[in-house]
Every structure is written in structure tokens, then in C-alpha cells.
Structure 1
Amino acid sequence: MKKRANVIEKVCIYSAVIVLCVGILAPYTWLIISSISQRIDLTTVPLRWLPRQINLQNYREIFGGDSASSANRNLKYGVYNSLIVAGTSTIVCLIAGSLAAYTFSRMRFRGKNVFFSMILSTQFLPIVALMIPLYMIMRWLSLLNTRLALIISNCSFILPLVIWLMRGYFESVPKDLEEVARIDGCSRLGVIVRIVLPLSTPGLAASGIFAFIIAWNEFFTALILTSTLRSKTISVLISEYSSKVGVDYVAMAAAGVIASLPPVILALFFQKYIVQGLTAGAVKG
């Protein structure tokens, strides 16, 4: 009876995993198929699931075709801007967030829990409610239509998440190691750089990947704060494939595939660290 129950349990688990994988991979697979299809394949009834002929025209135009449409021709600038904005936002949030998280994890000061709760409470505010004051601040600072405006706005709502994740990870690092280093004459900053951060590599990787993905996918703030090609991110430029004359589904799908590559590559390369970072501190002993 027990063996039969174990078999049923495994069947249920594997079935749930298969359904979950299909639900996650099916939309992305269809995005790739749509990007190499002809427009008639996507609009015909009944729907043609596989293209009759592979169409790579949009990829050629995106990567430098002379006869490319304006949307395809401008997409490479969006990729460049997104890499700068997302990469800089991630680095700034990791440095500032790690120091702040260590402070909340190790040091004692009055109002620590209240201050930490105030930082986390910012995550409950919808970005729509913050756009008007954020826009006015950026206009007052003359930062509209600049990548710096996007970096500052991204850090404002990514930093609390990094602090929360890294604080939980720092609390799982043994304090004895830090105390031994302090006895040997290491400064507080030296302890962080030489002891804590090397032991926190999985947490840093997980926090960095989440920060990069959030900054890379951010659309609303980039749409409001930018209106020139030198500052528009790839998420904003993809929305421009929809015009008054209709939507170019194939070109938009090709742009979507390109936009998804950096987060997907990061997740595949650092998936081990993501799991370790998210599960750190779950079991204490």
C-alpha cells in the first residue's frame, strides 16, 4: 500500500511539473515560431502552427539591413540603452543594497526595524502613483530623455528588493567568521569585502539577476520619462511596432525574441546561484 502511494505521489508531482513546463515554455515557443513565420501564417483561419516557409527578414533588418523599417532599424539602439540602464541599475543596487542589508543584519541602532519596514513599504506603492512626482523631479533636474533618469527611477524601486533579499542571506552567514577577522585586525569594511561578500556569492547572483530582469523589462517609467531615440529602451521601442495602420506581428515577435535573450541567458548561466540564493537561510543549524 505504501509503495502504491509513493507511485501515485510521483505521478502527481511529475504531471504537475510537465503542466507547469508546458505553461511556461508554450508562449515562448510560439513567440519564436511567430518571429520566423509569414504574416499570412499568423492571420489565416484556421491558424497555421508551423510556417510554410521560414522568414528571417526581420532579423536581417534588425541587425543592420539597409532597407529596414524604422522600427527594426531603431531596435539596436533600444538594446544598447537597455543594457546600459539595466546593467548600471543592477551594479548600483547591488553595491548600495549590500551595504544597507549588512547594516540591517549586523548592526544595532534605534529604530532599525521601523526604518526597515518603511523601506519595504515602498514596494506596496503602485508605480502609477509615483509617476507624476517622479516626472516633476526629473524635469526639475533636467534629466528627462536621459538614461540617468531611468537608472535613478529603477534604483528607487529595485533597491528595497535587493536590501530585503541580501539581509536574509547575510543573516545565514556565521558571525563567528566576522569576529575572528575583527580580532585579527580587519576593519568593518574589510570584513564585508573579504569575508561576507565572497560567502554571499549565491545571494548576490540571485539579487543581481532579479534586479537586471526588473530593470530590463521596465516599460512604464521608460515610456513616460523618455521620448527620444538616444534614451528609449527596447521595451518602449517594441511598443512602436503597433501603429495606426495595424500591428506588424512578425516583426514584433522577432523583436520580442531579441529582447528576451539577455534575461534568458543570465538565468541559464546562473540558475545554480539563483536556487542557492533563494533557499539560503531556509534551514538554520
Structure 2
Amino acid sequence: MGVKKQRIFRTIGITLGSIILVIGLLAPLVWLLISSVADLKELLKIPLQWIPENISFERYSKILFSQGSESEFRKTMMNSFVVASAVTLICVSIGSLSAYAFSRLKFPGKDKILFVLLFSYMLPPVAIIIPIYQIFSRYNLLDTKIALILVYSAIITPFVIWIMRTYFDSIPRDLEDAAKIDGCTYLGILFRIMIPLSAPGIVATLLLAFLMSWEEFFMALIMTSSVASKT
């Protein structure tokens, strides 16, 4: 078999494998979409019916427009968005400043502090939930969005610092040296050089911080009880 035929068979194999993988990944999502608009009787039919005969958007209408218990979904979704947005803003703001300090400044115990930050991020939530609950209970912050924002920010900020520090380390120091010669301060270097050059890393960190806050469940389950603050 010639080299050309081997390449053709390899291309065909990779293409077929990719198609099977994509189908396997998309099939559950397609079934979720079909289940949301199909009648219950059609979902229970054997053999499985992928294309429903009667398509109804009643479930979406109840979630988006109806009052009563169905409206709780909209409220909790809005709570999740508010909390995740606030946490993302706080974590990236504090994390960027801290990461720049850890990346460029020299001060005693820098490596030890980084290790402590990493260790605090690795702690399981169940190990710290009792003291956190007692602290927020003492200050009457239980069942509030502020409590979730503070807790999530404390948990996610160490992760943001590590990610941003790695990105800042990849930027050449020659650019900072040139800025220092022109009289630029550390904050000027951060906002005029480091942050613009780190825009891709900051965007990726923003998305990660938002998703981590959005999908957090354990803390919200323990610290909230009413629809006004549930996420």
C-alpha cells in the first residue's frame, strides 16, 4: 500500500471518528431540546421517537411568563447572574493587582504566601462551612446575596491570582524596563502595559471565575433558604 493510500485511509478514519465523537457529544443535548417541546406520551414511546409529532412550547411559557411557583426559576436565575457577576468583578480586580505584585515585586515570604493561597483554594467547602456559617450568622448575613458574594470571592480569588500570575510571568520584562525609564510607576505599568497585553488571559479568567461562581451549589444550599437569595 502506497503512502498516498495510507494518508487517504488515515484521513477517512479520523473523519469518521470525529463524526462519531460529535454525534455522541451532541445527542444528549439534542434529546434535552426534544424533551422540552415533546409531549410526555411521545417521550415514553417504544421505539424511541426523535422527531415529536406535536411540538409544544408550554413548558417554556410557564418558566418565562407564568406567576406562582414557576416564577421562582426566573428569580433564582437572576440571583445567580447578579452573584456571579459581582464575584467575577471582585475576584478579577483583586486578583489582577495581587498577581502583578507576586509576579514582579520582591518581598519576604512571597513563595510561602502563594503556597498558602493554593492550599486555601484546595480546601473542600465541607471543611470550612461550619465556621463560615457561624460568622455570617453572628453578623445577620445568612440568607443574603452579600454572603454568597463574599464567600465565593474568598474561594475563587486564590485561583484567579495563580492564573493571572502565570500570564504576567509570560510578558517580557524589557517592556517594563522601558516604561520605567520613561518614568512610569508600577500602577502605570500595570494599567498601560500589563493589562492590555494580558487581555486574552483576563477574558479567560473572567469566564472561569463566572462559571465557577455560577455552578457553586454547596455554599448556596447551606447559606440560603428563601427565593430572594437562592441561586
State TM-score, norm by structure 2.
0.90
Q: CA deviation at 1:26?
A: 2.4
Please state whether the residue corresponding to 2:228 is helix, strand or coil. Answer: coil
User: 1:213 corresponds to which residue?
Assistant: 211
Q: CA deviation at 1:205?
A: 0.5
Q: Does 1:224 align with 2:222?
A: yes
RMSD: 2.0
5+ unaligned residues in a row in structure 2: which ranges?
none
User: 1:49 corresponds to which residue?
Assistant: 50
Residues 249-264 of structure 1: matches in 2 within 5 Å?
none
The one of 73, 77, 80 equivalent to 1:79 is 77
Taking a change above 3 Å as real, the CA distance of residues 85 and 175 of structure 1, as seen in their structure-2 partners, is same
Identical positions, percent: 42
Q: Deviations over 1:69-111 (max 9, x none)?
A: 51x2111111211111000000111011111111111112222
User: 2:178 corresponds to which residue?
Assistant: 180
User: 2:22 corresponds to which residue?
Assistant: 21
Q: CA deviation at 1:12?
A: 5.1
Please state whether the residue corresponding to 1:115 is helix, strand or coil. Answer: helix
Q: Deviations over 1:223-253 (max 9, x none)?
A: 11111111011xxxxxxxxxxxxxxxxxxxx
Q: CA deviation at 1:169?
A: 0.8
Q: CA deviation at 1:149?
A: 0.8
Taking a change above 3 Å as real, the CA distance of residues 6 and 109 of structure 1, as seen in their structure-2 partners, is farther
Residues 236-247 of structure 1: matches in 2 within 5 Å?
none
Q: CA deviation at 1:32?
A: 1.6
> In structure 1, what is the Cα distance between the partners aligned to 2:176 and 2:95?
19
Counterpart residue identity of residue 40, structure 2: R
> In structure 2, what is the Cα distance between the partners aligned to 1:148 and 1:31?
34
The answer to whether the Cα contact below 8 Å between 1:61 and 1:69 also exists between their aligned partners in 2 is no
Q: CA deviation at 1:160?
A: 1.7
Counterpart residue identity of residue 165, structure 1: I
User: 1:111 corresponds to which residue?
Assistant: 109
Taking a change above 3 Å as real, the CA distance of residues 149 and 208 of structure 1, as seen in their structure-2 partners, is same
> In structure 2, what is the Cα distance between the partners aligned to 1:121 and 1:15?
44
Q: CA deviation at 1:25?
A: 2.3
Q: CA deviation at 1:123?
A: 3.0
> In structure 2, what is the Cα distance between the partners aligned to 1:161 and 1:18?
35
User: 1:155 corresponds to which residue?
Assistant: 153
Higher mean C-alpha deviation, range 131-140 or range 141-150: 131-140
Q: Does 1:142 align with 2:143?
A: no
Taking a change above 3 Å as real, the CA distance of residues 39 and 90 of structure 1, as seen in their structure-2 partners, is same
Flag the structure with larger Rg.
2
Q: Deviations over 1:186-234 (max 9, x none)?
A: 111111011100111100000000111111111111111111111011x
Taking a change above 3 Å as real, the CA distance of residues 51 and 134 of structure 1, as seen in their structure-2 partners, is farther
Taking a change above 3 Å as real, the CA distance of residues 121 and 11 of structure 1, as seen in their structure-2 partners, is farther
Q: CA deviation at 1:130?
A: 2.1
Q: Does 1:191 align with 2:192?
A: no
Counterpart residue identity of residue 150, structure 1: L
User: 1:95 corresponds to which residue?
Assistant: 93
5+ unaligned residues in a row in structure 1: which ranges?
234-285
The answer to whether the Cα contact below 8 Å between 1:87 and 1:212 also exists between their aligned partners in 2 is yes
Q: Does 1:63 align with 2:64?
A: yes
Counterpart residue identity of residue 229, structure 1: V
Counterpart residue identity of residue 156, structure 1: A
